[in-house]
A and B are shown apart, each in its own frame.
Chain A
Amino acid sequence: MSNAPLTNETVHRVSFLDKASLHIPILRILQADGTTYENAVLPVIDKALAEKIFDTCVFTRVLDERMLGAQRQGRISFYMTCTGEEASIIGSTAALDKDDVILAQYREHASLRYRGFTTEQFMNQMFSNEKDLGKGRQMPIHYGSRELNYQTISSPLATQIPQATGVAYGMKLQGKRNVAICYFGEGAASEGDFHAGLNMAAVLKSPTIFFCRNNGYAISTPTEEQFAGNGIASRGVGYGMHTIRVDGNDMLAVLAATQQARAHALEFNAPVLIEAMTYRLGAHSSSDDPSGYRSKEEEAKWQKHDPVKRFKLWMINKDWLTEADEAKLFERYREEVLAAVKVAEKLPVPKLDEIIEDVLDKPTPALRKQLKELKEHIAKYPKAYPKSAGRL
């Protein structure tokens, strides 16, 4: 169908469209006090699901608070929190099947927790010890789990976007009833990979959910210096895919939107774009100080929209939770995280032999030779290489 007309409507005087031409409302279900809007259509959710979501929220808050502290104390080299974005991340993951593949950006550890990543596994990765599934090869927070269908994080921004299109196309060809979900921030949407990935998904009919956390900042660059259009949602429409903008601090809205996005992707083998309007309450990373580029007043305003608090109030209203339950949960996770830190930081680093593994499926003769020479050298100067010298 080359050159099929996109519209039959004609006009006879110059008439431009602008970003306001596209009317994109925000889906909101929960009010600030934890009650739902009148006429709001709720997602599919029962007490057990709500409890699992809330449990993940609390764990994530504790992990972020404690590990940022651990970074400040110099116990780990780097950390990133998702504070303020929990509803976007957990609400969307809760809408998925466990066999749906997650391709995350870097700030979605709550998704991994929701799927069952243990506290020990988080710590082993952050402390790069011998039990780290990634064998101590990447900075803290670059998690991955084959078992939990969570692909290992890559630092370069947006590379996971066209990859998600490929994963979902593979699912389609294998006849799986699954989708791939791809998380990214509005900053990553400036990369070429964003365009490539969305365009390919739409054209090739790949059941992918593109989930944009529009959290206001790309490191220090605010959205008005990042894009000039009608957010990220307008682009989804431009690529020809179903698109929705949701309140990213509203757990129920995110859950509802993602549940329906998943159903649509599977029914039509089509991608969907979700733009979650949220706010990065924390810093970009532990290397960043947001006081240099935004005001305390702005942060305080967004504190009032705390997504975890809003969801908590909803659960309390439904008699599914009490303040005392919440306090107990926080206490339990604080102890658990601290205990896991103490264990993980004492475990040895991975064996030096592993340095040449997984470059290719088998080490080449050149790699084996390089390792042999390295080990001979370290054996000669063990005090200069204490981490590995004891494990030659």
Chain B
Amino acid sequence: MAQMNMLHAINEALSIAMTADERMVIFGEDVGHFGGVFRATSGLQEQFGRDRCFNTPLTEQGIAGFANGLASYGMTAVAEIQFADYIFPAFDQIVNESAKFRYRSGNQFDVGGLTFRTPYGGGIAGGHYHSQSPEAYFTQTPGLKVVIPRNPEQAKGLLLASIRDPNPVIFFEPKRLYRASVGEVPAGDYVIELGKAQVIKQGSDITVLAWGAQMEIVEKACERAEKEGISCEIIDLRTIAPWDVETIAKSVTKTGRLLINHEAPLTGGFAGEIAATIQQECFLSLESPISRVCGLDTPYPLVHEKEYMPDELKTFEAIKATVSF
């Protein structure tokens, strides 16, 4: 196992996937020789040629439409949207086209070989056009998978699984962890199954659920809580759609309490969906209302980023309040 950061792990996953699959193509804005603004695709054009790793014109709508066409013709398409904030011009091609290719054709055509990679989330002083977490917009669209990794090891295994999944996948990469998150990453080719949450730490008083970059925050909050004698079970959802109801329900049945943390705004966020489902599945086991610690219902601010964030302290306070309800 080698130590590496998340960008390096993503780059390695892309290189492994392209080597194994001659039909795989990577494209997006600046992804060619330059390697992308975050350098996730560094060296791929040199390794695989300009036909298979290339810059596109500045058109997210075009990138997504082109990706749909490529994938519908049996290619493995990995499209980069430079920032998740800029995925909205591609929204129609993703929710009306990628998501519905298989269904609308009665399985005659599909775009299963398509993966959108896009950096998401705040914490980089990026203001509201370089910080959004738009995962919930896509979870209401049947036909898409939505995946978010929390560290380099997860990023490599989940990305390889996403590229090889026979369905279109949106892979959100936590950009504030690109270089900050460093860890052991297994060598070679491996996949982490999509649709499965991971229990990171066992506990008995409360289940704390998050995904992506927020995992670091909830882990720190839980450390604080443990010092006050609260035993936290920590779960990384990993795949937001379709999500692993069973693992979460099993945990909440055991602990009797649930806190969900995400960076996107509270209203209409995916935590609401989880809360509704778990309330139904675990009603008789619940000992307190399900708690949500999320972003504010404001656009992502620049100067008050720290205040906006569902951070460690807010999470810690919510854990205490839930346990002592």
Binding site for B on A (CB under 8 A): 101, 103, 132-135, 137-138, 142, 144-146, 151-152, 154, 156, 159, 161-174, 180, 192-193, 195-197, 199-200, 203-204, 357-361, 364-366
Are A358 and B107 in contact, CB atoms less than 8 angstroms apart?
A: yes
Known interface pairs A152-B108, A165-B62; 18 further A-B residue pairs with C-beta atoms within 8 A, sorted by A's residue number: A133-B106, A137-B103, A144-B108, A145-B108, A146-B109, A159-B65, A159-B93, A162-B61, A162-B66, A167-B70, A169-B69, A173-B75, A195-B59, A196-B59, A204-B66, A359-B103, A360-B102, A361-B167
> Is A196's CB under 8 angstroms from B97's CB?
no
Q: Give A170's nearest chain B residue, CB to CB.
A: B73
CA distance A154 to B72 in the complex (A): 14
Asked whether A164 lies within 8 Å of B69 as measured between CB atoms, the reply is yes
Contact between chains at B69 and A203 (CB < 8 Å): no
CB distance from A248 to the nearest CB of B (A): 25
The total number of A-B Cβ pairs within 8 Å is: 161
- Residues in A whose Cβ lies below 8 Å from that of B69: 103, 162-170, 180
Point out the residues of chain A lying under 8 angstroms from B77, CB to CB: 166
Given contacts A151-B72, A159-B96, A204-B54, contact A360 B104 (CB under 8 A): no
Asked whether any CB of chain A lies closer than 8 Å to the CB of B121, the reply is: no
Q: B residues engaging A (CB < 8 A)?
A: 23, 25, 51-52, 54, 56-57, 59, 61-62, 64-75, 77, 89, 92-93, 96-97, 100-110, 112, 142-143, 145, 166-167, 195, 242, 245-246
Pairwise interchain contact A154-B65, C-beta atoms closer than 8 A = no
The 3 closest A-B pairs by CB, nearest first: A166-B69, A162-B65, A196-B62
Q: Shortest beta-carbon distance, B237 to chain A, in Å?
A: 14
Asked if A159 and B97 sit within 8 Å, CB to CB, the answer is yes
Q: Are A151 and B65 in contact (CB under 8 A)?
A: no
Distance in angstroms between the alpha carbons of A137 and B100 in the assembled complex: 11
The smallest C-beta distance from A62 to any residue of chain B, in angstroms, reads 26
Closest residue of chain A to B165, judged by CB?
A361
The one of A132, A163, A170, A361 in contact with B65, judged by C-beta atoms closer than 8 angstroms, is A163
Q: B245 to chain A: which residues have CB within 8 Å?
A: 365-366
Who on chain B is nearest to A356 by CB?
B142
Bound Cα distance from A17 to B166, whole angstroms: 51
Q: Is A358 touching B103 in the complex (CB atoms < 8 A)? A: yes
A-B contact pairs, 12 of them (CB 8 A): A133-B108, A134-B104, A159-B68, A164-B69, A165-B69, A166-B69, A166-B77, A170-B70, A197-B65, A199-B59, A204-B66, A365-B242
Which has the most chain A C-beta neighbours within 10 Å: B57, B77, B92, B106? B106
Q: Report A-chain residues with C-beta under 8 Å of the C-beta of B96.
A: 154, 156, 159
Q: Are B57 and A360 in contact (CB under 8 A)?
A: no
Select from chain A the residue with minimum beta-carbon distance to B25: A173
Pair A154/B97 contact, Cβ less than 8 Å: yes
For A138, the chain B residues whose CB sits under 8 A away are: 104
